[in-house]
Structure 1
Amino acid sequence: MTPLRRLLVASVACAALTATAAQAQRGADGQLNIIYWQAPSTMNPFLSGGTKEVEASSMVLEPLASYDNDGNIVPRLAVQLPTVENRGVSPDLKTITWDLKPGIKWSDGTDFTAEDAVFTWKYCTAPDGGCAQASYFEGVANMEAVDALTLKITFDEPKPFPYTALVGAESPIIQKKQFENCMGAKAPECTAQNFNPIGTGPFVVKEFRANDVITLEANPNYREADKPRFQTVLFKGGGDAASAARSVLETGEFDYAWNLQIEPEVLTRMEAAGKGKVVSAFATSVERILMNFTNPDPALGPDDRSVYKADGSNPHPILNDVRVRKALSMAIDRPLLTEIGYGRTGRPVCNVLPGPEQYASTANDGCLVQDIEGAKKLLDEAGWVPGADGVRVKDGRRLSLLYQTSTNSVRQSFQSLIKQWWAELGVETELRNISASVFFGGDPASPDTFQKFYSDVEMYTNNFSGVDPEAYMAQWRCDDIPGPSTQWQGSNINRYCNPEYDALTVQMSKTADLNERAELAKKMNDVLMQDYVLLPLIYRSGTSAHSNTLGGVRMNDWDSELWNIADWHRVK
């Protein structure tokens, strides 16, 4: 109970006090209905880079600390945030020591200890494991349980920003007892564990149906006796963004709908029905088109298709030329896309790192102006000659691209417009859309995930937890490329490898001065942008909706939107 609530309770009569206390009992508010139109395929965020899995699992699994709705780091399983001042971080910045809250239980009633945190690090860094969140453990040399409630992390080098490993919704702690036989290549085979993780969070999985519905109930061992206020959660997946919004804003069937990627006029009309409220927050989310730096030709087979070869023997036959990538970017009218697809919930952008503000570069703003004629000249210079049907040809190869994304009305509108603009250049574009539940799933056997990248270009939104971009910008390192040996997990979806870029990530990991870190982040952003590794389109706010009867929601685009679900309650 917060100090404000205690003050309010103290100011009312005894009868009102009794009524308030009764309302604050765990589970007193019945069932909470949530809809994520992208259905989770697992409850293990280490086996999927998809936001939907991270969000769903955050109701069950917790990190040492989270980011609040203002981007501040707040303790969760830890007593306090370690700093140099409180001696939690060593003066040489090579160690950080976390003191864990005493008395925390896993949902099965066993004690949560520092050994579970150590195990989580070993689990994510195990050979052949393909951990989707490996970048959060970059630079960790060792973790040790000093005692049951003390975790010490040692880094290879001084770590000016040590709040990456086990911090934020993408890097939670899993139970050693449950997952100790699921290491490395065995990780995706542990279906029972991955679907029903034991956690310390406010809810427990009762039933998990992949790509469909999750039912949860209040964790009887949750550390705050009066939370969560809801006894059960129905977490529905699937459908589309428009129907999800309608179920909250118009019909009132659901209490919360996530990621409302809907045309602005449609969303405004739905909100006018008066049953709910649209909430949004800008942080770091960018809708982007990724360039595939490897060859996705189906004829190559599963072990070579879209697989990076260190000897450079498997380059993309068209997109390996930066002039082609730049031309594709120049043809896009980003302000028009923003107006059509997002309105007030989006801004045209030329950076993959749009925020926080001190990290935002201004060196790439030229992309805000569409330049079809300039793009044509670049393709002429690159040797692509218009054919009889208008499609450019070079060395007998047509300038033809497969462009894939998830199924969503805004994204299909973008595909159609971009296809038209690229056609003006002489580019032939085949469009493909895949169910979001599959596209953003982590199934290593599926050919249709964004990690497999079995297309020439693909489009989606990504972001990062918190306000420091070190781990995020490290995602384009050579050693984080997905492939068969990593169960197709890894954050470098583009298969981009640039040793000079890797060196910048190492330099940032050793730099303490905030201004210098900002300059390094901008420099890394500019390398990616000026090499046209990906084409940023829209700086998106997180946009969701909740019913007028749901209280406690604090919209957060720095962490999981469900970061404070234990505080959500029914407004009478």
Structure 2
Amino acid sequence: MRLRNLLSATAAAAALGALAGPALAERGADGQVNIIYWQAVSILNPYLSGGTKDVEGASLVLEPLARYDETGTMVPWLVEEIPTVENGGVSEDLMSITWKLKPGLKWSDGSDVTAADAVFTADYCMDETGGCQQVANYADVASVEAVDDLTIKITFTVPKPVPYGPFVGAQSPILQAAQFADCKGAKAPECTDANFGPIGTGPYVVAEFKPNDVVVYEANPHYREADKPAFGSVLLKGGGDAVSAARSVMETGEFDYAWNMQVEPEILAQMEARGIGKVISAYGTSVERFEVNMTNPDPDLGDLRSTVEGGPHPFLTDPKVTRALSMAIDREILVEAGYGAAGQVTCNVLPAPDLFNSTANDWCKTPDVDGANALLDEAGWVVGSDGVREKDGVKLSLLYQTSTNSVRQGTQALIKQMWQEIGVETELRNISGSVFFGGDPSSPDTFQKLYADVEMFTNNFDGTDPEKYMANWRCSEIPSPKNNWLGGNNPRFCSEEYDALVQTLAGTAKIEERAEIAKQLNDMLMESGAIIPLIHRGRVAAMANTIEGHAMNPWDSELWDIASWSRAK
């Protein structure tokens, strides 16, 4: 199949009345839509990758029971309604939740979707002999059972006031049991055919996939809405950089949509002035931050490198050092240089919704080079003849890695200068985003492996409740060879107190109390130095003026409504 013969459209919010747009008369009538994710998709199984680009690439095919719309509201997707205590879907004791599938749902191969597929998916992710990037979504799950073909009952080990972790949002979709039956546990990464071409319920099926390059999708002939998608095919191209991706939409018109416009604001404004495309944005929970390696990344450690077994980091486990690193950073300069209106200074990894935004770390908003130097002096780090601090024969020297991107490399250069002012030597490294966020357990360059001292990137979470997101930094979530280097706890932070507080959050019902606990969890990460937040980023994309039916969504997959996309006539 030729790559240029592709097209796509979206349907989720239209069915829910969330989007108002022209009725789509015929599936595939609008031809092909071209999308560019300059961080190319590496795998189409979100359970085996923490990269946003992989989760979103899979979201055209794989769907959850419910997801979040552009306002952050949970909406039914493969089910008739959201279970609650009031409608009987959540038990009075909060120990279980029961979902009812829509009748007549088909996989893209024409077979029936049943509750058994959900049971399998939970078993797949919770299998302790393998690794699952999204296992935090299944926290406190005791069992998942098929009451009948359309009824899924999830029972928890503790009361769950917010029981919407499993099968909700793009990070936790349903897998077809028949396709993945032989792919559980340690075998999961080996199932190339399934991981590269999943059978799904979404508006599209995978027609061709070249990892780290291009995905071609065709309209799903068994999609539940007969008149959707309007686009018969989708070309999802990867590679290049954010600037060239923006240009391909707003200057050349080669593409219709470009994701993650981490581009200097003045450049975007110049492109938008051409009148071909526009910049769209929305604020959610994305934070550009440092994740600080609490373990030793010394290559001499071999297989124990950046593992708990390899021992603690020579100096980054000292909160005085990490606090000094944070104090030396002028975040306003970073925002002004790289983000403009699409960025705000933040001192938290959990910046939104406002109710969950802690003020305990606001000291970071004001840079204090003198204070940082004094703190390092106090900690015994002495400036050597080369201007680099050292202590007990160890130099305060960092390897700072991130993905390849002009804004990120600009940020690296600025922070290197800022850290030089406090006697910190910094080596900069950038890695292709397709590799960095790809989740390949054999690659030394993934953000989960963290073969560096600090790394900088952004991610966020589905929806507005942070329970499963904050669970990412539990001890059990540390990536290691034992779990194929999957897990959300890249800093290797481990605290029994933190883990216990996550459990308390899981059992807390009142929203005000949940907010206080979430802020405590955030503050523990900040105080330990495991995370150094920089910028609360808006989600920014470029879209052709001819595309209709899309609502920018910072709470779920950015392509959440692709079944409803159409071409303006």
Task: Check whether TM > 0.5.
Answer: yes
Give a deviation string over 1:284-334, Cα, whole Å, max 9, x none. 0000011100000000002x000013xxx6000011211101000000000
* SS of residue in 2 equivalent to 1:536: strand
Give a deviation string over 1:266-288, Cα, whole Å, max 9, x none. 11111111101110000100000
Structure 1 unmatched ranges of 5 or more: 10-19
Specify the alignment match of 2:371 in structure 1.
374
Amino acid at match of 2:472: Q
- Cα contact 2:106–2:224 (8 A) shared by 1: yes
Specify the alignment match of 1:352 in structure 2.
349
- Cα contact 1:476–1:491 (8 A) shared by 2: yes
Which of 486, 490, 493 is matched with 2:487 structurally?
490
Pairs within 5 Å for 1:60-75: 60-75=61-76
Specify the alignment match of 2:551 in structure 1.
554
- Cα contact 2:389–2:395 (8 A) shared by 1: yes
Pairs within 5 Å for 1:99-498: 99-302=100-303, 304-309=304-309, 314-498=311-495
- Cα contact 2:95–2:158 (8 A) shared by 1: yes
Cα distance in 2 for partners of 1:188, 1:476 equals 23
Cα distance in 1 for partners of 2:176, 2:245 equals 33
- Cα contact 2:287–2:533 (8 A) shared by 1: yes
Amino acid at match of 1:319: L
1:3, CA displacement in angstroms? Answer: 8.7
Cα distance in 2 for partners of 1:529, 1:494 equals 12
Cα distance in 2 for partners of 1:565, 1:256 equals 11
Cα distance in 2 for partners of 1:121, 1:301 equals 34
1:50, CA displacement in angstroms? Answer: 0.5
Amino acid at match of 2:361: N
1:141, CA displacement in angstroms? Answer: 0.3
Cα distance in 2 for partners of 1:24, 1:262 equals 37
1:393, CA displacement in angstroms? Answer: 1.1
Amino acid at match of 1:225: A
User: Could you say if the C-alpha distance between residues 150 and 170 of structure 1 is closer, same or farther in structure 2, counting changes exceeding 3 Å?
Assistant: same
Specify the alignment match of 1:52 in structure 2.
53
Moved over 3 A (4+): 1-5
Cα distance in 2 for partners of 1:467, 1:197 equals 28
- Cα contact 2:317–2:529 (8 A) shared by 1: no
Q: Does 1:43 align with 2:40?
A: no
User: Could you say if the C-alpha distance between residues 249 and 292 of structure 1 is closer, same or farther in structure 2, counting changes exceeding 3 Å?
Assistant: same
- Cα contact 1:250–1:270 (8 A) shared by 2: yes
Count of aligned positions: 555
Moved more, 388-397 or 195-204: 388-397
Cα distance in 2 for partners of 1:294, 1:541 equals 31
Identity %: 64
* SS of residue in 1 equivalent to 2:308: coil
Give a deviation string over 1:99-153, Cα, whole Å, max 9, x none. 0000000000000000000000000011232100000000000000000000000
Give a deviation string over 1:142-185, Cα, whole Å, max 9, x none. 00000000000000000000011110000000000000100100
Q: Does 1:80 align with 2:77?
A: no
* TM-score, with length taken from structure 2: 0.96
* SS of residue in 1 equivalent to 2:428: strand
Amino acid at match of 2:552: M
* SS of residue in 1 equivalent to 2:43: coil
Amino acid at match of 2:516: E
Cα distance in 1 for partners of 2:244, 2:407 equals 14
Cα distance in 1 for partners of 2:434, 2:103 equals 38
Cα distance in 2 for partners of 1:392, 1:344 equals 37
Cα distance in 2 for partners of 1:412, 1:546 equals 25
Amino acid at match of 2:305: R
1:4, CA displacement in angstroms? Answer: 11
* TM-align CA RMSD: 1.3
Give a deviation string over 1:535-554, Cα, whole Å, max 9, x none. 11000010001101110110
- Cα contact 2:478–2:488 (8 A) shared by 1: yes
Specify the alignment match of 2:5 in structure 1.
none
* SS of residue in 1 equivalent to 2:249: helix
Specify the alignment match of 1:17 in structure 2.
none
Cα distance in 2 for partners of 1:127, 1:282 equals 35
1:381, CA displacement in angstroms? Answer: 1.1
1:467, CA displacement in angstroms? Answer: 0.5
- Cα contact 2:42–2:54 (8 A) shared by 1: yes
Q: Does 1:519 align with 2:520?
A: no
* TM-score, with length taken from structure 1: 0.96
Cα distance in 1 for partners of 2:355, 2:395 equals 43
* SS of residue in 2 equivalent to 1:81: coil
Specify the alignment match of 1:96 in structure 2.
97
Specify the alignment match of 1:14 in structure 2.
none
* SS of residue in 2 equivalent to 1:546: strand
1:384, CA displacement in angstroms? Answer: 0.8
Cα distance in 1 for partners of 2:516, 2:495 equals 19
Cα distance in 1 for partners of 2:16, 2:318 equals 59
Specify the alignment match of 2:505 in structure 1.
508
Cα distance in 1 for partners of 2:188, 2:553 equals 30
Specify the alignment match of 1:24 in structure 2.
25
Specify the alignment match of 1:16 in structure 2.
none
Give a deviation string over 1:514-548, Cα, whole Å, max 9, x none. 11101101111111112221111000010001101
- Cα contact 1:227–1:566 (8 A) shared by 2: yes
1:263, CA displacement in angstroms? Answer: 0.6
- Cα contact 1:128–1:487 (8 A) shared by 2: no
Structure 2 unmatched ranges of 5 or more: 1-10
Give a deviation string over 1:77-113, Cα, whole Å, max 9, x none. 0110000000000000000000000000000000000
* SS of residue in 1 equivalent to 2:421: helix
Amino acid at match of 1:434: I
Amino acid at match of 1:308: V
Cα distance in 2 for partners of 1:177, 1:496 equals 37
Give a deviation string over 1:480-521, Cα, whole Å, max 9, x none. 100000000000010000111111101000111111101101
* SS of residue in 1 equivalent to 2:323: helix
Amino acid at match of 1:202: P
Amino acid at match of 1:341: G
Amino acid at match of 2:512: N
Cα distance in 2 for partners of 1:182, 1:120 equals 11
Cα distance in 2 for partners of 1:424, 1:347 equals 24
* SS of residue in 2 equivalent to 1:294: coil
Specify the alignment match of 1:15 in structure 2.
none
* SS of residue in 2 equivalent to 1:146: strand
Cα distance in 2 for partners of 1:403, 1:287 equals 14
Give a deviation string over 1:395-416, Cα, whole Å, max 9, x none. 1111111000000010001101
